[in-house]
Amino acid sequence: MSWFTSTRLNSLDGLLTDQMQDLYDAEQRLVEALPLMAAAAHDASLKQAFKDHLEETKCQVTRLEQIFQLLGQAPRGKTCAAMKGLVARAKKQLTRKVIRM
């Protein structure tokens, strides 16, 4: 099976753009999810780890936006199914924890 089966992925530039859009979406989803996870954490060090990771993730979003700009493209994401699933699972677990308490 070839990576270059769609018209968008018929070149390395297309592949780069596709992967950047996937990463951009993943990082954006984390920016939304990490504060929820930090708020739900009871352990102070875990709460701080989520907050630290949030700041790192915001920097990643900024870097991706700069790369899009260097490539002459507007920053936009395409759904990252993997991160979407991970965030959905985390939210489901957080809901279960809240209900049990």
Domain with 72 in it: what CATH number? 1.20.1260.10
> Could you read off the pLDDT of 81-98 as tens digits, one per residue?
999 999 999 999 888 765
Tally of domains within the chain: 1
- Indicate whether 91 belongs to any domain: yes
Whether 4 is in a domain gets the answer: no
Enclosing domain of residue 72: 12-100
What the block records as the tokens of 69 is: 């700009």
Rounded CA-CA distance 84/73 in Å is: 24
pLDDT tens-digit readout, 21-48: 999 999 999 999 999 999 999 999 999 9
pLDDT digits (tens, 9 = 90+) for 47-84: 999 999 999 999 999 999 999 999 999 999 999 999 99
Q: Which two tokens stand for residue 31?
A: 């920016």
Q: Kindly calculate the radius of gyration of the chain based on its CA atoms and give it in whole angstroms.
A: 17
Does 90 map to a domain?
yes
Both tokens assigned to 32: 């939304």
pTM of the model: 0.83
What confidence score (pLDDT) does residue 95 get?
83
Residue pair 14/61 in contact by the 8 Å Cβ criterion: no
Domain assignment present for residue 7? The answer is: no
